[in-house]
A and B are shown apart, each in its own frame.
Chain A
């Protein structure tokens, strides 16, 4: 046996084992993931023969454009506020450490692991007609207090609350690896503490910001439960619209087309992220 064939035979045996190990999950995902996903694509262009009118209906109707635009706007707002709330918290956790960090991380973990439905329900109580927030507004002299529930405000607020833990964990995992002596070095070289933060710490924490924002943006874009329960029925987000199209109108074609559009938007965000950062890094 020559050298080359020996190596090739070893490699071939290794490849067989590899694919044997992968086969179950491959088959499973093909049958229960790719096929249903393919069906969505299929239904979006068949009615009952090939047609693009579901997409045309979507893009020629002002209503759908408003949903799409509104979804983007809400998502952007949620992402921005999540970042604004999370950055100081993560920074304080990393800088102070000790008992403070443990307590804060516990709070974040508690929220992270509590079901979306429980947290959505909590906001329902807080913002409800007989809830504490309206009562406080009334005592402050805002009478009658505004309707808070079933508005764009309520669903946006609740989604910020739901997604902040994801942002904090993304930021924290990057920040805790930053060598703080670099900031001290910058200060020793004449930077003010704020300059040192802005020119050294902030850029080094950028991967965390990018990860957190991508994660929150994607999750918010396709959010179903909270906007449906707390949001205004007149100002749906795109996932809620898909739900309505199925449940109320049994319009599978239109629902599929909407789903494909949502999918494309999501994939675009991921593709951009993958292009510049690499998908492997997103979940730390």
Chain B
């Protein structure tokens, strides 16, 4: 851990909500709302992802936290202080932009030194701290380069160093890895996580890539059409999606329509099943989710305790190398099942077989 990380360390340790967004609304024209009443409480030192398709309001929310957009209504509270009226340059929030937004007329070191210069730090301190920050992202030898002389990944690191050097209260990352190729992206994910661990800085990470959000975050806020559909730990979002949208957006999915009230559900195409239903749907209608990877081949015959067993005809196969996605139908239901490659070597289009999955892998979402 270098000197820079050491200084940041003393700042963490407070629990409870640190950055709180309450009933946030943004409307550009007074009629349509880009953000429709979002509330989130983020703990100090937490790594939170805003996940959602484009136009879901995640970037707009981020821009309001950074201060580039004024909320139409609602509050943003940082460390107990209302920041909505504070102009962006006085918020002390670091941000990494989608296209990095490095100043093209300054060197890497000058870019990193910029926030310190704006804070009127002495020249010697600016030099020392920008060098430390560049060292932290592994670019100590590139201080004198112009941004255009750096690769995409290096520019990304400079942007990160610049957003961290002034020890901001919160770090915002707006789809920072979107422009990088796959390998570099994975490398930078690890890098960002390492820095987050070292500095313990409260971080909001905006992305439309579910894998990125899954691997990096403490909690994920799933955005859709201006509202947060679910705000929970990655595994919860994956295994227990709160809405059908979340279930469909995060991971691959099979949905069945179901209805019933008393712990017994009538599931379309599958009969009556006893499934845990929490929360309970007021209308009595549910969407039942089964992940394709929870479905397996069943070579036996007859029923299987605690399992659903269905006949299945394959209409298409997608080979992923390690696994195979079977697409096909069981009666009126269309189903997707993902099975290990080694078990699927004899399966062709048109093959008829049996699939089964545990009742416990079925998740009920109130419709």
Contact = CB atoms under 8 A, between A and B. Distances in A.
B134 to A, nearest CB: 38
B154 interface: no
Contacts of B70: 6, 10
Main SS at interface, chain A: helix
A8 to B, nearest CB: 8
Contacts of A10: 70
Contacts of A6: 70, 72
Interface string A9-37: 01000000000000000000000000000
Main SS at interface, chain B: loop
Contacts of A7: 27, 29-30, 72
Contacts of B27: 3, 7
B250 interface: no
Interface size class of A (residues with CB under 8 A): under 10
Interface in B24-49: 25, 27, 29-30
Interface in B1-40: 25, 27, 29-30
B308 interface: no
Nearest to A4: B30
Interface string A245-274: 000000000000000000000000000000
A4 B27 CA distance: 9
Contacts of B73: 3
For A3, A6, A7, the residue with the greatest tally of chain B CB atoms inside 10 Å of its CB is: A3
Interface residues of B, number: 7
A7 B25 CA distance: 13
Interface in A53-83: none
A268 to B, nearest CB: 39
B125 to A, nearest CB: 37
A3 B29 CA distance: 10
A187 to B, nearest CB: 34
Contacts of B25: 3
Nearest to A8: B30
A10 B70 CA distance: 10
A75 B25 CA distance: 60
Contacts of A3: 25, 27, 30, 72-73
Contacts of B72: 3, 6-7
Nearest to B27: A3
A270 to B, nearest CB: 34
Nearest to B73: A3
A9 to B, nearest CB: 11
Interface in B41-87: 70, 72-73
A129 to B, nearest CB: 58
For B30, B70, B73, the residue with the greatest tally of chain A CB atoms inside 10 Å of its CB is: B30
Given A3-B73, A6-B70, A7-B72, 10 more contacts: A3-B25, A3-B27, A3-B30, A3-B72, A4-B30, A6-B72, A7-B27, A7-B29, A7-B30, A10-B70
13 contacts: A3-B25, A3-B27, A3-B30, A3-B72, A3-B73, A4-B30, A6-B70, A6-B72, A7-B27, A7-B29, A7-B30, A7-B72, A10-B70
Interface of A: 3-4, 6-7, 10
Q: What are the 7 closest A-B residue pairs judged by CB atoms, nearest first?
A: A3-B72, A4-B30, A7-B30, A3-B73, A3-B30, A3-B27, A6-B72
